[in-house]
Every structure is written in structure tokens, then in C-alpha cells.
Structure 1
């Protein structure tokens, strides 16, 4: 009788464990789709009520060409906007999570007005570029480097700046210490980037769904490793900054609850000793709204940083 009860108990335990695995598998696939699978739903744009809406309208009138490269067997597209006065100085403007290049028009116009050529890529898995997955900067950093090499090959005199917003910010930070990044890249500007994909996704799981890291984030990270070849903690901006030697400007809103403001302080402290760095915290700004919250301060800070580390020749 006792043996029979034990067998039944073990059957229940095994059945319960199997059920939990099935549930976790289903939930994992759902959240992997939410976080990592391409979704071409139209992205939000700058509202007509924004103080920067005029920049978008100006940008739309600028002459632009479509540039194409192949990176990691994917065809990637970008807008290229030449400066009004010919220059060898170009800013690569990298968009954020579930955005595309059109969402970055106010930033493109900002750098155009400062006198720079502007290249605005669609990340892999977004806009007009190929790709099935969102990679939180892990593979995107290779694509940014490919764009930098493309510009440098077209014009060996190029002096480049990498600018990124949110996931794009994390991407340019991750690219900063890569050996393949050409010496033509002179400086980096990041706005509201996270420390690493693991920390950001754990934070989002808790803040948006009230879910702990275990087991869900672990299993979604494993799914990423199986499908894309990387764990979430491998998309690490903070680690890259510890090796970065290029001047960097870090920007964040003090009311950011999507990528918490504390992350910018971790990234700022991580920058390799001796590397020029500057920190701008914009009061009252939520996620990716620093430019719209205080346009004058944002423009002034970027203009000063650019004039120091990638100046337009007079």
C-alpha cells in the first residue's frame, strides 16, 4: 500500500513538473515574440504639438538618398542626407526598440542644422532592412560598424560620430570598444541607453508584468541563445564602455521609468579611465524625451560636445 501511494505521489509530482514546463515553454515563446521578433506595426512619431515638430517638417524637405549595405547576410537600408555645405563630417543616427529611421527625423535635422552629413539606418529587423529578430544591440553593433566602414571606404577623409537613442544608444555603446570599429569614428553620443539587455528585460518583466526574473527571463534568454546565438547578458553596454577610448556624451531624463535613470550613472562610471566623458541629466524628461523636454539645453550640449570632439572645419 505504501509503495502504491509513493508511486502515485511521484506520478503527481512528475505530472505537475511536466505541466509547469509546458506552461513555461508557452509563456517563453509569447514573451520572446514580444521582445525579440520583428513587428512592423507603425511606430510612434513626433506629435504635431511637440516643440520639435518643426524639425521633422524641415527634415522631410531635405534631399536624401537611400544607401544599401549587406551585413551578416542581411540587406540593410539607410537614408543619407548631405550637409548644406560640403564636409567630411558625418553623424550615424541609430534608432531604438521597435522604431525605424523615420522616428529619428528630429535628431537628423538637429545634426543637419549643426552642419553635418547624416546617415540614418534602419536596424536589422526594422523598417526597410531585412531581418527577423530584434537583437538589443548584440548584432546591431556589427551593423553600425559596417555602416561606419561603408562611409569610410566611400570617403577615406570621413570623421564620424555615432549617435543612438534607447536601444540605439546601447548599440553604439556596445560598438565603442569593438576592434573592427574604424578609427574614423571620433566620438559617441548616447541618449537613454540601458546597461545591458538582461538588466533591462528583468526590469521590464517586473515593472510591466510584475514577473520575477526566474524562470521566465532565464528561459527567454535561452530561447535567444538557441535562435540567435546570444544570451541577454552578452548584449552589454557597460562592459563595452570599460574598454572604450573615444569621447562620449551620455544623456538621460531624470523621470525615465522605461530605462531607469540609475542605469546612466552605471554606464558613466564604467567608462574607461582617462576617456573624455560628459553626463547630461535632463530634468523632467521621461524616456527618449530629453530633446523635446529641453530643446535648447539638448542642442547646446550636443553642439559643444561636437565642436570639441568632431568639429566642422571653418
Structure 2
């Protein structure tokens, strides 16, 4: 074999090996270390969407939650006079509690106390990796306990989540059965499938690189992307749920909503025409608010 053929083979093999090492490493690091927006930046984004609801800002009281590992999570709450009904709002990837304020105010106007919090590594919290709902759902489990300890064990707890926050709301059902309801907005049931789709969109074989990225994450952070999944446990969920999803969501496909509905046979589901990821409230505000109100009313009538 001529020497130059050997050189070409070695070069091509080196390039392929480099891709198989560097791309999974890039995906693992990029996924677990998102670019975080400040609370001010998120508030500004809502204003750009012409969302800036007037409310009494003195209603928001600061609160912190201390996790079992000592990590401190920052948040705030709004108490509705005389109510024992709470909704805990879970934000999406890279944003913070300000992204959930507009949703929280819907519930507040309907007589609910509202708890907003920053997930690990987000908002006012100390730096930490994102685990796409795995550790975050364990945190939420402890937050629910601490809300009940502070405001009364007779407090009822519902959840609202958008994107990763919706996944967090789903995942926490692995740990408890006392959740009154979940409003699940464009969440995923299996993060590795979402990553596979995103890699495919880059014209690379996601079926190969997503598992490699998951393995790399496990080596680096002791967290596998397979951990961020509720899919094997879906049929165990026994919580009233409102499913909301845009039909042209390119970040988390609407297929996730269909999987949820198929497994849980939800009575309340809203698939919104020509709505992108996490844009449901922006695109269909009145419909969104009405659907939430009707859903909550149905709980009281059952």
C-alpha cells in the first residue's frame, strides 16, 4: 500500500475519532451549562412581548429553600387572602422565576397562593449544572415539603411548568402522590429523545451521538440524560393534568403532548395552531387563561 494512502487513512480515522470524542463532549457541556439570563433580562423579554401585568409588587415576599445537600434555592411567594390553595411555578431552561410570573398571576387572580423559585444554577442561585429535570425534580419535592411546613400541612399544592419546568413537574410525581394538579406546558417525557432530535436537525446521527453525550455527561457529572425521563413511569401518574403545546414546537415536539395524553387519557388538552416553543401564552393569552380557569373549576366539581 502506498505511503500516501496510509497517510490519508490515518488522517480520516483521526478526524472521525476526533468527532466521536469532541461532539459528545460539546453536547454534554453545552446541555449542562446553559447561558443563564438574569432576572432583569427575562423581565425585559416579557415586556418586549407586551406582557407586563400590573400587580401589587409588595405582594412578593422573598423566601429561600435549603436542600438536603445544603444548596440554597431562592424564590418568592404571593399570598391570596384566606386561601390554602398553592401553585408552585417551575420555569424553563436558562431563564428564571421571572419567566413564570405571568403564569403565576393567572392563578393568583383565581384565588391561589403562588410560589416562584429559581431552579439550580439559575436566577439568584449559586452556579450549578443543569440536569434537565433530574435533580431539579428532587429539589421541587423538597420545596413542596417546605411550603407545607411553612404554610400548613393542610395546604393543597398544584404545579405549573413550562418546557424543562413542565418536565420537572412531571418528574416529581416519582416521589410523591399528593399533588392536586399539573398544568404542563410544552414539556418533554424523555430528554434524550429531545437531544436526539436536535442532533438530527444538525444533519448528524442523533441515535449515535445522543447516547455518547449521555455517557460523557455521566462520566463528567454523574448524570446521564436517561435520568431525565418520566416515560417508564407515565402510567403510574395519577394527577389531574392540563396539557398545553404548540403544534410547530421545534424545541420539544408536540409528540410529547400526544404521548402524555395517550398514556394518561387527560380530559384537558390544548394543542395550539401555529404556536412555537413556550409561546402559548403569548399567542393565545385569552384561550390560555380560559383553559386554566376551566381546568381548575373542573377539579372543584369532581
2:183 maps to 1:186: no
Contact 1:238 / 1:270 at 8 angstroms: preserved in 2? no
Contact 1:96 / 1:164 at 8 angstroms: preserved in 2? yes
How far apart, CA to CA, are the structure 2 residues paired with 1:248 and 1:228? 32
Q: Which runs of 5+ in 1 are unaligned?
A: none
**Other-structure match for 1:133:** 129
How far apart, CA to CA, are the structure 1 residues paired with 2:60 and 2:134? 29
**Other-structure match for 2:115:** 119
The TM-score, its normalising length taken from structure 2, stands at 0.88
Match 2:55 to one of 53, 58, 61: 58
User: Structure 1 residue 216: deviation in Å?
Assistant: 2.4
User: Structure 1 residue 80: deviation in Å?
Assistant: 1.1
User: Structure 1 residue 38: deviation in Å?
Assistant: 4.4
Contact 2:196 / 2:209 at 8 angstroms: preserved in 1? no
CA separation of 1:15/1:293 partners in 2, compared to 1, >3 Å: closer, same or farther? Answer: closer
How far apart, CA to CA, are the structure 1 residues paired with 2:31 and 2:107? 30
How big is each residue's C-alpha offset from its partner over 1:77-121, in whole Å with a ceiling of 9 and x where there is no partner? 1111111x2211110000001111112221121111111111111
How far apart, CA to CA, are the structure 2 residues paired with 1:10 and 1:221? 33
Contact 1:175 / 1:240 at 8 angstroms: preserved in 2? no
Equivalent position SS for 2:47: coil
Q: Which runs of 5+ in 2 are unaligned?
A: none
**Other-structure match for 1:77:** 74
Over the aligned positions, Cα root-mean-square deviation in angstroms equals: 2.6
Report the more deviating stretch, 28-37 or 195-204.
28-37
Number of residue equivalences: 296
Equivalent position SS for 2:296: helix
How big is each residue's C-alpha offset from its partner over 1:36-84, in whole Å with a ceiling of 9 and x where there is no partner? 1143344545443535x142x437x24212211222522111111111x
Equivalent position SS for 1:48: helix
Equivalent position SS for 1:194: coil
The TM-score, its normalising length taken from structure 1, stands at 0.84
**Other-structure match for 1:165:** 162
User: Structure 1 residue 32: deviation in Å?
Assistant: 2.1
Structure with the largest fraction of helix: 2
How far apart, CA to CA, are the structure 2 residues paired with 1:288 and 1:41? 16
